[in-house]
Structure 1
Amino acid sequence: MGDNRLMTITLWRRLLAEFTGTALLVTAVVGSGIMATTLSPDDVGLQLLENSIATAFALAVLIMMFGPVSGAHFNPVVSAADWFLGRRAGTGLTPRDLGGYVVAQVLGAIVGSVLANLMFDLAAVGFSGKDRVAGHLWLGEVVATAGLILLVFALARSGRAPAAPAAVGAYIGAAYWFTSSTSFANPAVTIGRAFTDTFAGIAPASVPGFVVAQVVGLAVGIGLLAALYPDAGAAAERVVVPTDEDATVNHRS
């Protein structure tokens, strides 16, 4: 079991993990979308299948890679929920940490799109022309985001956080198909995807509506958690992936 000594992970290391993880996630989303349209140019359904499988697998692997360092949030709504739910128990992110996480995630998402564009010999930045402005798409984002928040914190609260890589990857992969919006569920990723005029892109003018819907989904998810798991905040420090028992991370360092 070890001596359970308290170790701290400095903020800059956690921010680097969030930046790198989010960048690689968006690279996977955008890059697999470009590859899908190249390999299956006349079949949109197959393109979405290829894109969703690559995204789900990449997300699971990235959570395992970076979870022990930063919690592998890669998502401002997850970080915001971690701060909000853990603030009373002193278990979640501090306000300073939250601000740093959000900035790192947004910058990482933009870099991820640029990297994917360059890998496929496209212009580094090509703003998307794909309009996604419609009430049913916003509703899809509310559903996708609320479900993600509920999943992540329910796993932590019930002691099943080690299953997060597989569970979160599976949820996002499935939500590609059961939501009208194909489940962005992430403000940082939404912003990043505006920087690529490819299969996974979203027009800059469509970004605010998606982000507002995701914030609403965050509120719905927190409300459901309050009803189903009233003490979910006590597990905020175990989101998304808990550290080893012998290296408990103090998120407030």
Structure 2
Amino acid sequence: MNSHALTCTGITVDFDGFRAVDGVDLTLDRGEVHFLIGPNGAGKTTLVDAVTGLAKYSGSVVKDGVELRGRKVHHIARRGIGRTFQTATVFEQLTVAQNLDIAAGAGRSPWSLLRRRKALPDQVVAVMEQIGLAGHAQTPAGILAHGQKQWLEIGMLLVGDADVLLLDEPIAGMGHEERDTTGRLLHAIAETRAVAVVEHDMDFMRAFASRVTVLHAGRVLAAGSVDEVANDPRVQEVYLGAANEQETIDAATA
């Protein structure tokens, strides 16, 4: 049975008179991969920034009964909310194992985090297996393939005990096989956590979304199952309009 892991109510974000997010309500449930989709400028990433403390907002964000509005970024992270960015942020000079060990080691000294230890914590070993990097424990993160860096960043959230994961375009730049592997990984993670994915790729959304929220001009345009959202005339109009606009731009610059 799903339980609300995160509840956002009336989230509104203004930038110098421009309203980027306008009264958004959103719930994230454990056991689901919840996709946030919408045209460029719809407010998807800004909404994630608000939830994680990177953007000021009005409204309410509640996790497990605790109000998070006004808390600092590191306090929100300690409450179990983790996010990734469009470009993976890993320590490229350190190995896969060291990256995960650092993410798991809040409270330990810098020396104990960076030194090569005889044995890794069981949690780190388990997550390396889960994200498919068990064979790359001693590989510097900087030479990993693009998709592997994304999996490593997700793994760093997992060893840090995040149970609400907000992932910003996690398959950007991936090939077909990497995309499928990522989708299966997200579903495995969501068995015990809440996973939200900001995404533009509709094929990926159709294949792996449990639930979908569509944002347009900072507001929720539609929400529901993949079929409900795909068959919503308002969604079709927004995406058709975006596609026609892009075709016009392409024609003008050809």
- Which has a greater percent of helix? 1
TM-score range, shorter chain: under 0.3
Larger RCO (CA within 8 A; separation ≥ 6): 1
Q: TM-score, length-normalised on structure 2?
A: 0.25
Q: TM-score, length-normalised on structure 1?
A: 0.25
Q: Flag the structure with larger Rg.
A: 2
